[in-house]
Amino acid sequence: MTVTTRFAPSPTGHLHVGNIRTALHNWLLAKQAGGRFMLRIDDTDAERSREEYVDGIRADLAWLGLVPDGEERQSARFALYEAQFERLRAAGRVYRCYETAQELDLKRKVLLGRGLPPIYDRAALKLTEDDHAAKAAAGEAPHWRFLLDHDEPIAWDDGIRGAQAFEARMMSDPVVRRADGSWLYMLPSAIDDIDMGITDVLRGEDHVSNTAAQVQMFTALGATPPRFAHEALLTGSEGKLSKRLGSLGVAQLRENGIEPEAVIALLARLGTSDPVDPALDAKALAASFTLRHFGRAPARFDEAELHRVNAAVVHRLPFARVAHLLPDGMGEAAWEAIRPNLEHIGEAAEWWQVVTGPVAVPTLEDEDRAFLATAAETLAGLEWSGEVWRALTGALKEATGRKGKALFLPLRLALTGREHGPDMAALLPLIGRDAALERLRAAS
Ligand code: GLU
């Protein structure tokens, strides 16, 4: 069977770093096996779901390069849920309940007060058809629970957590449908996973208890459960679930000059024992992706690390990838000369301005000004080539006896107006002969 994974966000907000990581890991898991990565929009909650978030999710995935091999949305699949629900109803696997939230809360408190686990007592199972008729006559509509089979063991071999076992009798029968007929997350998700041929469900460990109930939903629907894996949750660098993480999304990352390649390189390895490698693209990361390398400890997301990875990524980006983001006239040689000095692509414009000028004329000691006058004369007599910086500094070293900082710094200051910057050997040919002579003379 083709490995098929899915990313199933609820469009009730923008994707944040944690969601992005889940999406990426599902993409990697699918691609690693030559399989399919599906996007499922979990929009059964009509009130909280918004179309702008659906568009945002698609745009964010596109920016990251995580292109889904197919998309479904739950709001278009109610007929399927209805049909499967009828099957479960006919088989006696869903039942009608009428307790209010307050009543349920009270029951829970009583149990907890007695030191017992707050499990739903199945009181509604005892209602007769007459009781139901009376409720209906009184205008009371039921909500529905899935009847867990207390005799069916719940176990799976979790791709990350290892062997998992739950006792159905220690769990409440989950509510799957509200009194107004709307669906809660659990049942539609299992129905979709079956219908969409999902072979691997990879999601956060906050879903482990849902999985325990869903395992029985799969079997009740006549399907073999998919493989499950639950990742440790993402925490901030300080080790706690931070507010910042919950809001940090693609929009802010882009605003901060973070490239998708950096997000991918970092998040692909976050939570695993594998080192982050800025040289690896998504395809290479997929090739080496394995759930076996995931740990159970919370995965720490450090924004400072993302910035470091981003700089390393920018230093490797080929011209063709960035050409449209660069100032007019800035070509491949300039990009290659300048990129080692960048943290963000946006800073290229600043350095390009250093190439094209004008640059600040430095204030220097007389001695350095005399040296720069010699430099201008020397440069004027040199043949202009790609090697001109070496030729110039070699000749000046010989003529003046200067070396190291005394040789290079005045030249850099005069030619660029700055103390630091890209390799002068690459920069000088870009500045050009006339501008270089003019800058040396102006500083002398
Ligand atoms: N919509 C659910 C969520 O965002 C999906 C969980 C799942 O992967 O099944 O939590």
Phi, psi of 201 (to 5 degrees): -105, 115
Residue 169 and residue 85 share a domain: yes
- In ligand 1, the atom with minimum distance to the C-alpha of 193 is 9
**Residue whose C-alpha is closest to residue 202's, from 434, 427, 4, 412:** 4
Dihedral class, residue 421 (left if φ above 0, else alpha if ψ from -120 to 50, else beta):
left
Decide if 251 is inside a domain: no
Residues 15, 20, 23, 27, CA torsion sign: positive
**Residue whose C-alpha is closest to residue 270's, from 307, 241, 233, 243:** 233
- In ligand 1, the atom with minimum distance to the C-alpha of 201 is 8
pLDDT value, residue 372: 98
Domain end (from 145, 177, 209): 177
Strand intervals (E) in 309-402: none
- 8 Cα: distance to centroid of ligand 1 (angstroms): 5
Residue 341 and residue 377 share a domain: no
Helical residues (DSSP H) of 114-207, grouped into ranges: 129-137, 186-195
- 408 Cα: distance to centroid of ligand 1 (angstroms): 59
Best residue among 185, 230, 233 to mutate for probing ligand 1, ranked by most atoms within 8 Å of CB: 185
Rounded to a whole number of angstroms, the distance between the first and last alpha carbons of the chain is 74
> Which residues, 6+ apart, have CB-to-CB distance to 255 below 8 Å?
none
- 47 Cα: distance to centroid of ligand 1 (angstroms): 17
Cα gap 240→45, rounded to integer Å: 29
H/E element holding 164? strand 162-166
**How many other β-carbons are positioned within 10 Å of the β-carbon of residue 25?**
24
Q: Give, using CA atoms, the residue closest to atom 7 of ligand 1.
A: 8
Residues 15 and 60 sit within 8 Å (Cβ to Cβ): yes
pLDDT value, residue 238: 76
Residue 92 and residue 173 share a domain: yes
Cα gap 153→96, rounded to integer Å: 24
- 10 Cα: distance to centroid of ligand 1 (angstroms): 7
Q: What is the CATH number of the domain that holds 364?
A: 1.10.10.350
Cα gap 313→278, rounded to integer Å: 5
Residue 118 and residue 134 share a domain: yes
Domain end (from 132, 157, 177): 177
Residue 383 and residue 367 share a domain: yes
Cα gap 37→77, rounded to integer Å: 19
pLDDT value, residue 392: 98
Decide if 115 is inside a domain: yes
- In ligand 1, the atom with minimum distance to the C-alpha of 19 is 4
Decide if 92 is inside a domain: yes
Range of the domain at 390: 357-443
Best residue among 189, 192, 208 to mutate for probing ligand 1, ranked by most atoms within 8 Å of CB: 189
Q: CA torsion angle for 55, 60, 63, 65 (degrees, to 10)?
A: -100
Cα gap 164→215, rounded to integer Å: 12
- 341 Cα: distance to centroid of ligand 1 (angstroms): 41
Q: Is 432 exposed, middle or buried (0-12, 13-18, 19+ CB in 10 A)?
A: middle
Q: Quick check: helix, strand or coil at residue 73? A: strand
The single residue listed with the structure tokens 């088989």 is 91
pLDDT value, residue 151: 97
Judge if the beta carbon of residue 9 lies within 6 A of ligand 1.
Answer: yes
Cα gap 243→181, rounded to integer Å: 34
Decide if 4 is inside a domain: no
Q: Quick check: helix, strand or coil at residue 41? A: strand
Residue 381 and residue 346 share a domain: no
Cα gap 317→319, rounded to integer Å: 7
pLDDT value, residue 237: 79
DSSP 129-156: HHHHHHHHHTTPPPEEEE---TTS-EEE
Decide if 416 is inside a domain: yes
Judge if the beta carbon of residue 186 lies within 6 A of ligand 1.
Answer: no
Q: Which two tokens stand for residue 419?
A: 């103390």
Residues 216 and 149 sit within 8 Å (Cβ to Cβ): yes
- 338 Cα: distance to centroid of ligand 1 (angstroms): 43
Binding-site positions: 243
Bridge partner list, 183: 177
Number of domains in the chain: 3
Residue 173 and residue 88 share a domain: yes
- Let me know the angle formed at the C-alpha of 40 by 37 and 44, rounded to the nearest 5 degrees: 170
- In ligand 1, the atom with minimum distance to the C-alpha of 210 is 9
Q: Give, using CA atoms, the residue closest to atom 10 of ligand 1.
A: 9
Residues 103 and 120 sit within 8 Å (Cβ to Cβ): no
pLDDT value, residue 229: 98
Binding-site positions for ATP: 243
> Which residues, 6+ apart, have CB-to-CB distance to 323 below 8 Å?
335
Decide if 308 is inside a domain: no
Domain end (from 156, 177, 198): 177
pLDDT digits (tens), the chain, 444 positions: 899 999 999 999 999 999 999 999 999 999 999 999 999 999 999 999 999 999 999 999 999 999 999 999 999 999 999 999 999 999 999 999 999 999 999 999 999 999 999 999 999 999 999 999 999 999 999 999 999 999 999 999 999 999 999 999 999 999 999 999 999 999 999 999 999 999 999 999 999 999 999 999 999 999 999 999 999 999 987 777 677 787 899 999 999 999 999 999 999 999 998 999 999 999 999 999 999 999 999 899 999 999 999 999 999 999 999 999 999 999 999 999 999 999 999 999 999 999 999 999 999 999 999 999 999 999 999 999 889 999 999 999 999 999 999 999 999 999 999 999 999 999 999 999 999 999 999 999
Judge if the beta carbon of residue 10 lies within 6 A of ligand 1.
Answer: yes
Q: Which two tokens stand for residue 7?
A: 């990313």
Residues 375 and 396 sit within 8 Å (Cβ to Cβ): yes
Best residue among 4, 5, 7, 10 to mutate for probing ligand 1, ranked by most atoms within 8 Å of CB: 10
Residue 347 and residue 410 share a domain: no
Residues 301 and 17 sit within 8 Å (Cβ to Cβ): yes
The 8-class DSSP code of residue 325 comes to G
Judge if the beta carbon of residue 203 lies within 6 A of ligand 1.
Answer: yes
Q: Would the pTM of this model clear 0.85, i.e. be above it?
A: yes
Query: Can you say how many angstroms the Cα of residue 49 is from the centroid of all Cα atoms in its chain?
Result: 21
- In ligand 1, the atom with minimum distance to the C-alpha of 9 is 4
pLDDT value, residue 142: 98
Decide if 384 is inside a domain: yes
Cα gap 29→187, rounded to integer Å: 24
Decide if 420 is inside a domain: yes
